[in-house]
Every structure is written in C-alpha cells, then in structure tokens.
Amino acid sequence: MYRSSTTLVVFVVFFGVGFTGPLAGQDKSPALAKFRAAAMNSGDAVRGKTVFESKESGCTKCHQISGDKRLAGPDLLVIGDKYSREQLIRAVLEPSATIHPDYGTVVVNTKDGKVFTGVFYNRTNKGLQLLDVEGKLVQIPTGEVGEEKRSKTSLMPVGLEKTLKPDQFADLIVYLTTLQQKIDNAEGHRGLVSEIPTIKKPARLVPLHAEKMRFDHPVWIIAKPGTKDEFLVVEQKTRKVWRLEMGKEKDRKTLFVDLSSEASTGEFEGLVCLAFHPQFLKNRKYYLNYHVREKGRFSPVIVERTANADLSRDAGGPSRRLLKIRQETDLHWGGMLAFGPDDYLYIGAGDGGPQEDPQGRSQDLSVLSGSILRIDVDRKTEGRAYAIPATNPYRHGAGGARPEIWASGLRMPWRFSFDPATDDLWVGDIGQDLFENVKIVRLGENHGWNVYEGFTKFSDQYRRKGVEYTPPVVSYRRKYGVSVTGGYVYRGKKSPSFAGVYVFGDFESKRIFALTQEKRQLKKIRQIGTSPQRISSFGVDADGELFVVGYKGTIYRLLLDDAVFE
C-alpha cells in the first residue's frame, strides 16, 4: 500500500472490501503472469519467512507479525486466515487495486508548498500526525496544513517483479498463507469458539423483489409502521431512501427521500441507517444517521426529518440536526441507531480510528467515541437539540464524562437490535486483528476495547484501576469472517426451533450464524447458511421474520421454515 523509493511488500486488510473476479486474464505483462503462476503452483514457507525478514524486501519496515509497535501497515498475524493464496498474490502485485481506508494514503500539502504522504496516525490541537513509508512519525503543525486529501493510489510500489525472483515471490506468498490463528482455547472461555458446526439443512435465501428493482449498495431495511408489506430501504452511496411496497399483483419501488444535498458519499461513507419515531403514525418523525464533511472534517451526524401527511414520502425541507459526533479520522464510525423499549434513541458510535484506537477513545468518557449513546428526542435541555434521559449513567457529567453515553468500550458497533421479548440489546462489534464479537450490552457497562479484544487482553495502556470490563457472548475467529454484521433474535412463528435464537452474519465471508445463550454465556452456535452477496444488514418484518440485505443490491428473505437449529 505504500509508495517510496524503497521496495516494500505491503498487504491490504479490508473492512467491507474484498476481491472479486478471477485472477486469470488480469496480467498486463509476461513477467506478472510468470509471478502468478509460480506463486500458485510452488513455494516454500521456510524460505518465504527469510524473504519476509530480509532487508531487500523491506516488509518489516511496515509490518509485524504480532507486536506492540504501531507501524504504517497492518499486523499480519492471521493474514492466512483472512485471505486465500490468490487474494494475497493480487494484494502484492496490484497494491492499488483495493485499499482499506484504515491504511489509505493521506496526502498533505502545506501552505509553503511542501508535500507529505503517509498513513493517518493522529490529530491533536497541535497538528496532524502521519506514519511515513519508513514507519517514522511525521508531525505537521496545524497552522501549516493547507490541503489534506486521501489518495486511491497505494504507497506500495508496483513492479515487484523487478526486485524479486518468481521463486522468491512464491516462497513469500506461501509463508503468508501459513500465518493463521491458533485454534486452541487457552483462555478457557466458552464463548471463544474455535469451530462453528453447520446445520444439516441450511436456511434458504429468496429475493424479496424482482431483479429490475435492485438497489444501489443498500445497507438497511426497516418495516414501515402500521403496515405489513411496506419497507424503507437505505442506499449508502446514493444517499437515497426508497419505499418498497410488496403487493399481491405488483410490487412498487418509489423514492422516499434524497439526502445527497446534505450527506457526503464515498467508498464507505454516506447514509447508513434510519429509525422511525415510536409515535411515527402520529408525529410523522423519523431519524437518520449519515456522514458529512465540513471544513474538511468528517463527522457522523444524527438528524430528524418528517414524512408528509399520508406518510408516503418525506415532507421536504432541511433536516433538523440533533447530534454531531466529532471524529479525528473518517474511520470506525459505528453507524446504527434505533429506538429502545424505553422510547429513547440509541446510537452506535465507533472508536473513530485509526487502527488499534491508539488514543484510547473507547475508554475516554469525555468523548462520544466507542460508545452506545442514548438521547431523548422529545425534549430539549441545556442548549441541546435533545434531552439526557434521567437514568443515563453519566448524566451529571462527573469527571468530564459525556452525559449521552449509555455504555462504553466498543470498537465499531455497526449493527445492533433489541430483543422484543427480553429487551436485551444485542451488538455486533467489529474486531481489530483476531476476533469478531457479539455482545449483549447493558446500561453503564464498559465492554473493554482497547484493553480487551473480545475475551483476550489487547493493551494495558488505557486500563484504569477499578474498572470492570464486560466480555462478549461470543468471539469468532478470522477463518469464519472479518466483519461481523449484527442481526436479530428470531421471534417469528414459522420456525419454532429458532425461537429465541440470535441470528447474525459476516459481511466479508457471507456466512450466516445463529446462537443461543444463558446469562450471557454461550450455549450453542451454528452456521445456518451463506448469503449470495455480502451482508450489510439484517432486517425484520411485522411478523418477526427476517431479511438479509445484500450489499450488491438484493434484499433476501431468510427462510428458516425447513432449517432446524440443533
């Protein structure tokens, strides 16, 4: 991913990005074809380790294999679990093909004409900090920053075939495939699973709509209150919300609202969630979580809007902004919002990046990052566009804590949901290097990031004396997926064996899982199916039956009728 005069072998780690299409036919030169062929059909891992550690390759300037030092590139401890040999080959030979935003190139032009290029590390009152291609920290004073932008071009140089021989490249690739997670359970936690069995007859996924009604990067579906066959579907990049009506004779898809004039867009940013007010049928209010770039800074915002009189579309006019979540990067922004059984609005806020939360924001109660927030949208107090519920744990702001925080210590709570039978809040919290986590979160709890990643200790840098950390229900390993998508507890009627079972998935691996628990202790977990498309969200209809939102544009019904959870 990094470009300089020094040859560096740097690999791409993704959130929500994968390799698509075959590798064959992509080579533009005989040399590249020779490298691919060698890496696919030969190689020695022992020799590959030597190549990785050599000064000639330069790999260790930006990468480590389990270490405490923050480098410009990702830790490669479990890269062999995350990606196949074909994917690793492409990551090295085509460094700019796909770049994860956490390790994307930042180009800064100073007011006196200097240019700095590196990976974002931190932003302080004094200035911007980047990690350069040599792994050194570059500090640019705030007053000197003229323009700051992200580049889609990797800093990693192309032309690796000119510096390594095909057999060396093959050895390196084979070595990387051996970097896999240990499958023992030395920690002794039942929820730290090594194997996830598959049920005998998997659940079926059937498209909810015709192909001609396909959506553009959908990330959310929600049932419209007061109806059984109407839904709103959120498109991330277009920043549009569509009304989907499922009729007996003909389905209809009509525009509900277009927020492209308010929200920013990009590879991973845009419009990400929608929630109806509990009294939507009376007050017509609904709420959105989307991204903005103001004065060059990225921020998630929560806004209120109103539907028209017959609730068929938005009433128009500007949104009423309730909350802006300040972030120093455009990473790890959470994304979820939903009303709880108490009629308060719950909001998922990520740690704000960069990787590993080096500033400890998830453990810092003076910022909104890394938390589940809870606000009262029906009232206003103390100059806010909302009120603080009386039972919020930090409502008095003691020690500088933000009163909006309901629970803390999360990394990237992309999707969460309430179980209507128990009121439990289930959260899919995207992990760092080793685990994806599913949690039941309660008022005032600290869920540990970045002191813990799941059940496992991560860092003592921000550990505070006397603080208790709540473990997840389950942590699954990288061989099963790299980006958890939280789902729902099944409360439908069509599949009794799934009653009370939590159903969730993984965006990248497309696997669909189900689990049961007792007192937040895992009882059983199974893989129950696989989605045809990456899973950006789940949804639920008025009867409690489930949907899967495919990021390529299709909404599926998840049919559990013939599946048995056993």
Choice among 49-63, 107-121, 379-393 with the minimum mean pLDDT: 49-63
pLDDT tens-digit series, residues 125-168: 788 888 887 778 899 998 898 888 877 766 666 666 677 888 99
Do both 351 and 411 map to the same domain? yes
The CATH code of the domain that includes 102 is 2.30.30.100
In the predicted model, what is the mean pLDDT of residues 494-504? 97
Reported confidence tier of residue 102, pLDDT bands at 50, 70, 90: low
- Same structural domain, 173 and 231: no
pLDDT in tens, 237-280: 999 999 999 988 889 999 999 999 999 999 889 999 999 999 99
Contact criterion met (CB below 8 Å) for 422 and 340:
no
**Domain assignment present for 286:** yes
Looking at this protein, which amino acid is placed at residue 475? S
Please check the confidence at residue 299 and state whether its pLDDT lies above 70: yes
Query: Is omega for the bond preceding 354 within 30 degrees of 0, making it cis?
Result: yes
State the SS3 of 273-308. EEEECCCHHHHCEEEEEEEEEECCEEEEEEEEEEEC
Q: Are residues 139 and 228 both part of a single domain? A: no
Neighbours of 118 (CB within 10 A): 24
Instruction: Note every long-range contact of 548-553, with CB atoms under 8 Å and residues 24 or more positions apart, other chains counting.
Output: 548/205, 548/505, 548/512, 549/218, 549/219, 549/220, 549/221, 549/233, 550/218, 551/16, 551/217, 551/218, 551/219, 551/507, 552/217, 553/214, 553/215, 553/216, 553/217, 553/218
Looking at residue 3, its pLDDT comes to 24
Q: Are residues 86 and 213 in the same domain?
A: no
Same structural domain, 158 and 38: yes
Spatial distance between the Cα atoms of 373 and 482, rounded to a whole number of angstroms: 25
Tokens representing 308? 């028209």
Please say whether the beta carbons of 131 and 155 come within 8 A.
no
Q: Are 191 and 475 in contact (CB under 8 A)?
A: yes
Least confident of 79-88, 151-160, 281-290, 470-479: 151-160
Q: What is the mean pLDDT of residues 179-195?
A: 78
Beta-carbon count within 10 A of 116 CB: 18
Question: d(Cα 337, Cα 416) in Å, to the nearest integer?
Answer: 8
End-to-end CA distance of the chain: 44
| 233 and 153 part of one domain | no
CA separation, residue 92 to residues 6, 86, 158, 256, 525 (Å): 15, 10, 8, 43, 36
Residues 173, 223 share a domain: no
Sign of the dihedral defined by the CA atoms of residues 328, 329, 332, 337, in that order: positive
Please tell me what DSSP assigns to residue 202: P
Whether the Cβ atoms of residue 15 and residue 483 lie closer than 8 Å to each other? yes
Burial of residue 71, with CB atoms counted within 10 A of its CB: 0-12 exposed, 13-18 middle, 19 or more buried: middle
Total residue count of the chain as it appears in this document: 566
- Tokens of residue 106, six digits: 């930042």
Examine residue 25 and state whether it is found in any structural domain, yes or no. no
Using alpha carbons, select from 357, 444, 450, 358 the residue that is nearest to residue 408.
444
The 8-class DSSP code of residue 476 comes to: E
Q: Is residue 186 part of a domain?
A: no
Indicate whether 325 belongs to any domain. Answer: yes
What confidence tens digit (pLDDT) does each residue in 319-331 have?
999 999 999 888 8
CA distances from 42 to 84, 85, 166, 172, 426 (A): 15, 11, 10, 11, 45
With helix as H, strand as E and coil as C, how does 400-462 read? HCCCCEEEECCCCEEEEEECCCCCCEEEEECCCCCEEEEEEECCCCECCCCCEECCEECCCCC
Residues 6+ apart with CB under 8 A from 462: 360, 363, 364, 450, 451
Q: Is the pLDDT of residue 1 over 80?
A: no
pTM (two decimals): 0.86
Give the residue with greater pLDDT, 533 vs 86. Answer: 533
CA separation for the pair 558, 545 (Å, rounded) = 8
* Total number of domains constituting the chain: 2
356 in Cβ contact with 291 (< 8 Å): no
- Of 67-81, 106-120, 130-144, the one with minimum mean pLDDT is 67-81
Residues 156, 210 within the same domain: no
pLDDT category, 403, cuts 50, 70, 90? very high
Of the candidates 289, 280, 273, which has an alpha carbon nearest to the alpha carbon of residue 308?
280
- CB 154, CB 10: distance < 8 Å: yes
Same domain membership, residue 96 and residue 143: yes
3-class state of residue 91 by DSSP: helix
CB 519 within 8 A of CB 503: no
Q: Does residue 127 sit in the same domain as residue 213?
A: no
- State the pLDDT at residue 444: 98
Environment class of 359 (CB within 10 Å of its CB; exposed 0-12, middle 13-18, buried 19+): buried
3-state helix/strand/coil string of 144-174: HEEEEEEECCCCCCCCHHHCCCHHHHHHHHH
Could you tell me the pLDDT band of residue 96, with boundaries at 50, 70 and 90? low
Alpha carbons 334 and 373: distance in angstroms, whole number: 11
What pLDDT score does 186 carry?
52
Q: Which residues of 245-266 are buried (b: 16+ CB within 10 A; e: fewer)?
A: eeeeeeeebeebbbbeebbbbe
Question: What are 535-548's pLDDT values in tens digits?
Answer: 999 999 999 999 99
Do 278 and 173 reside in the same domain of the chain? no
Distance CA 4, CA 262 (A): 38
Assign residue 531 the CATH number of its domain: 2.120.10.30
Distance separating alpha carbons of residues 444 and 350, to the nearest angstrom? 17
Q: State mean pLDDT over 20-46.
A: 72
* Local structure of residue 560 (DSSP, 8 states): -
- Residue 62, pLDDT above cutoff 70: yes
Compute the distance between CA of residue 156 and CA of residue 251 in angstroms, rounded to an integer.
48
- pLDDT grade, residue 7 (50/70/90)? very low
Whose tokens are 């590959």? That residue is 48
Rounded to the nearest angstrom, the gap between the alpha carbon of residue 546 and the centroid of all alpha carbons in its chain is 21
The answer to the question of residue 429 being in a domain is yes
On whether residue 184 sits in a domain, the answer given is no
pLDDT level of residue 123 (50, 70, 90 thresholds): confident
Q: Is the pLDDT of residue 27 over 50?
A: yes
432 and 517 belong to one structural domain: yes
| Cross-sheet strand order for the sheet of 337-339 | 337-339, 345-349, 371-375, 405-408
In a domain, 511, yes or no: yes
What mean pLDDT do residues 46-53 have? 91
Is 367 within 8 Å of 399 (Cβ atoms)?
no
Domain that includes residue 84, residue range: 30-177
* Residue 149, pLDDT score: 81
Mean per-residue pLDDT of the chain: 89
Q: What is the pLDDT of residue 148?
A: 82
Q: 518 in a domain, yes or no? A: yes
Q: How far apart are CA 386 and CA 303, in angstroms?
A: 11
Q: Which residue has the higher pLDDT, 17 or 383?
A: 383
Give me the pLDDT at residue 187, please.
61
